[in-house]
């Protein structure tokens, strides 16, 4: 038997001026989990999209099962047994899960789609991998964890035995990640080969057999999991060590910038309905919201930012009642917002990096004077942001669609933080960014706080909440179950409150 079922040798790939992959090397063994790691924009997604036939390679060779493949597109990649679960979800929101899974591969009965057969086929996979998926829900109604499982089912249904997972855990809660890892272990046990891309070294160390590192389009080497350490991997990725410790300053907190008073908000999901929540954020402090995803955090943020109706109660920003005002009016009252989903709410991918950076301020000075756009001011600002946040590539005239996932995230963060508003809502601010960028973004939030901004931070990473926040508010099923000062908080007491607190647990025990 051949040692490798996939070999990618001396791969080169450019997009216009941008050399995405200079010298890419990658091999895959049958039945292994091979992780691909490296900084943002280093060519990981590109390498795997080449293997999946999404773009042609400029030079080099791709060998699958011993056969050198001359022409590859997603259809033929699937025929060769290669499937890919993408970094940015590609599901259609208005369709049901079932419709999404069969999209493009509908089983036909005569001229009509055979939904009965489709349902049976899919159910077979759902049972086999013990996935928790509701086929008749619309995609807009399911959690990101479930959407991730849908993407995996979709790929498995194509009958592939090589599965590429591009940052599958970036959007998952720790609980959902556990579930995903069980599914991956099952797949591996069946002899499937998995490629896993992630910025989370603890995950990489947990599930990999081998790990390959890329740096700026260049292959840096492959190591056995058992013979390496996170420290060595970090050095291979960046060439230095990174310490994610924030020197937290307890600055003087000022008056209230945000007051949420007993709000009630409805939601399609039972656990996400907000049932009477009150909280406040002061000037110069970071308040973290901890909770298991789907317990009302998105609804809370949408209610504050004007994207969802507040049924009862009120929201006060900078002393003004902004309850149920239009999002734009709320922004102008003093709100900046890093949204949880950069693709639907954060960026307009048809516009350039520069225009995205100034998008919300485009009709104000200094970018517009009278009716004239001030082109110099805007370019100068874009240049500064690109430098400060290390956005790569640095050509700010490129559309954001040309950016890697992590670099796109940096654009959103740069724009919102630099507006210097009174209140900054940061939802999952470091989602999908590499360890160096996590350091930059976390320090930026700390600096904003020192300047007097009140920050409301929502993050699925408990460690991030603990290390950044001054106060932590824990929510469960749309209610606040506790509040802790950051120096009293740890994963245990937060975890307990996230499950509903002691009362809930006792209730659960007597019930069962
Ligand atoms: N369709 C495209 N058009 C132009 N440039 C692109 C395109 N796709 C990727 N690039 C560029 O290629 C480089 C590598 O991007 P890639 O998406 O492979 O990075 P990555 O390692 O996956 O990063 P991340 O961790 O942020 O997802 C980046 O500089 C990116 O801007
Ligand atoms: Mg990527």
Instruction: Summarize the chain as % helix, strand, coil (round to 5).
Output: 40, 25, 35
Quote the percentage of the chain above a pLDDT of 90.
62
Name the one residue in this structure whose structure tokens are 């990640």. 177
Q: Write the DSSP assignment of 470-484 as a string of letters.
A: SEEEEEETTEEEEEE
What was the pLDDT predicted at 318?
95
Whose alpha carbon is nearest atom 13 of ligand 1?
Answer: 20
Where in the chain are the domains? 6-238, 257-348+422-511
Select from 8, 13, 14, 15 the residue to mutate for testing ligand 1; criterion: most ligand atoms less than 8 Å from CB.
15
Distance 404 CA to ligand 2 centre (A): 5
Whose alpha carbon is nearest atom 24 of ligand 1?
Answer: 40
Cα four-point dihedral sign 493, 495, 497, 503: negative
The segments of the chain whose pLDDT lies below 70 read 240-247, 249-251, 344-345, 360-375, 502-512
Residues with CB under 6 A from ligand 1: 15, 18, 20, 38, 40-46, 87, 392-393, 402-407
Atom number, ligand 1, closest to the C-alpha of residue 55: 1
Whose alpha carbon is nearest atom 27 of ligand 1?
Answer: 405
pLDDT (tens digit, 9 = 90+) per residue, 168-218? 988 777 777 888 999 999 999 999 999 999 999 999 999 999 999 999 999
List the alpha helices (DSSP H) in 22-73.
44-51
Distance 27 CA to ligand 2 centre (A): 18
Cα four-point dihedral sign 271, 274, 279, 281: positive
271 vs 173, 253, 312, 340, CA distance in Å?
16, 33, 18, 19
Q: Write the DSSP assignment of 225-263 as a string of letters.
A: GGG--HHHHHHHHHSS----------PPP-SEEEEEEEE
pLDDT (tens digit, 9 = 90+) per residue, 25-57? 999 999 999 999 999 999 999 999 999 999 999
What was the pLDDT predicted at 243?
63
Instruction: Judge contact between 436 and 39, C-beta under 8 A.
Output: yes
Closest CA to 147 of 115, 176, 184, 186: 176
Please tell me if the domain spanning 6-238 has the same topology as the one spanning 257-348+422-511: yes
Atom number, ligand 1, closest to the C-alpha of residue 167: 27
What was the pLDDT predicted at 171?
74
Whose alpha carbon is nearest atom 12 of ligand 1?
Answer: 20
Q: What CATH topology corresponds to 6-238?
A: Rossmann fold (3.40.50)
Whose alpha carbon is nearest atom 29 of ligand 1?
Answer: 41
| Cα–Cα distance for residue pair 251/194, rounded to 1 Å | 47
10 vs 2, 45, 104, 190, 498, CA distance in Å?
20, 16, 33, 31, 48
Distance 406 CA to ligand 1 centre (A): 9
| CATH architecture of the region 257-348+422-511 | 3-Layer(aba) Sandwich (3.40)
| Cα–Cα distance for residue pair 431/413, rounded to 1 Å | 11
CA 420 to chain centroid, in Å, comes to 24
Distance 372 CA to ligand 2 centre (A): 38
């Amino acid at each position: 038997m051949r040692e490798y079922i996939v070999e990618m040798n001396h791969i080169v790939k450019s997009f216009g001026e941008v050399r995405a992959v200079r010298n890419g090397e990658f091999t895959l063994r049958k039945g292994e989990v091979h992780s691909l790691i490296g900084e943002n924009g280093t060519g990981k997604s590109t390498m795997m999209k080449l293997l999946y036939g999404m773009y042609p390679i400029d030079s080099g060779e791709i060998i699958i099962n011993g056969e050198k493949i001359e022409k590859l597109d997603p259809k033929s990649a699937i025929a060769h047994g290669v499937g890919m679960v993408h970094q940015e979800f590609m599901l259609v929101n208005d369709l049901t899960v079932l419709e999404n899974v069969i999209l493009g591969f509908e089983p036909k009965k005569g001229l009509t789609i055979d939904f009965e057969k489709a349902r049976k086929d899919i159910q077979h996979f759902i049972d086999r991998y013990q996935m928790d998926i509701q086929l008749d829900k619309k995609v807009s109604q399911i959690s990101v964890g479930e959407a991730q499982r849908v993407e995996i089912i979709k790929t498995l249904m194509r009958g592939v035995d090589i599965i590429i997972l591009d940052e599958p855990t970036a959007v998952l809660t720790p609980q959902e990640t556990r579930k995903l890892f069980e599914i991956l272990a099952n797949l591996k046990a069946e002899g499937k080969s998995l490629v896993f891309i992630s910025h989370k070294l603890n995950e990489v160390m947990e599930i990999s057999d081998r790990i390959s590192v890329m740096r700026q389009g260049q292959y840096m080497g492959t190591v056995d999991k058992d013979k390496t350490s996170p420290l060595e991997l970090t050095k291979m990725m960046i060439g230095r060590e990174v310490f994610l410790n924030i020197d937290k300053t307890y600055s003087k907190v000022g008056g209230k910038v945000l007051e949420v008073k007993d709000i009630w908000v409805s939601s399609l999901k039972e656990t996400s309905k907000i049932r009477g929540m009150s909280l406040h954020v002061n000037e110069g402090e970071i308040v973290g919201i901890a909770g298991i995803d789907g317990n009302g955090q998105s609804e809370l943020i949408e209610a504050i930012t004007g994207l969802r109706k507040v049924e009862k109660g009120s929201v006060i920003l900078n002393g003004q009642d902004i309850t149920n005002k239009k999002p734009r009016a709320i922004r102008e009252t003093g709100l900046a917002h890093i949204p949880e989903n950069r693709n639907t709410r954060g960026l307009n991918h048809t516009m350039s990096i520069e225009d995205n950076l100034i998008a919300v301020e485009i009709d104000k000075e200094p970018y517009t004077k009278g009716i004239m756009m001030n082109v110099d001011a805007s370019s100068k600002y874009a240049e500064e942001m690109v430098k400060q946040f290390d956005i790569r590539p640095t050509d700010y005239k490129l559309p954001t669609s040309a950016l890697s996932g992590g670099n796109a995230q940096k654009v959103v963060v740069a724009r919102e933080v630099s507006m210097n508003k009174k209140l900054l809502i940061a939802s999952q601010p470091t989602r999908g960014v590499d360890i160096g960028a996590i350091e930059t973004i976390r320090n930026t939030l700390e600096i904003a706080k020192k300047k007097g901004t009140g920050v409301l931070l929502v993050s699925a990473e408990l460690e991030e909440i603990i290390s950044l926040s001054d106060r932590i508010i824990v929510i469960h099923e749309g209610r606040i179950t506790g509040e802790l000062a950051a120096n009293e908080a740890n994963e245990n007491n937060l975890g307990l409150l996230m499950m509903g607190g002691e009362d809930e647990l006792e209730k659960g025990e007597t019930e069962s």
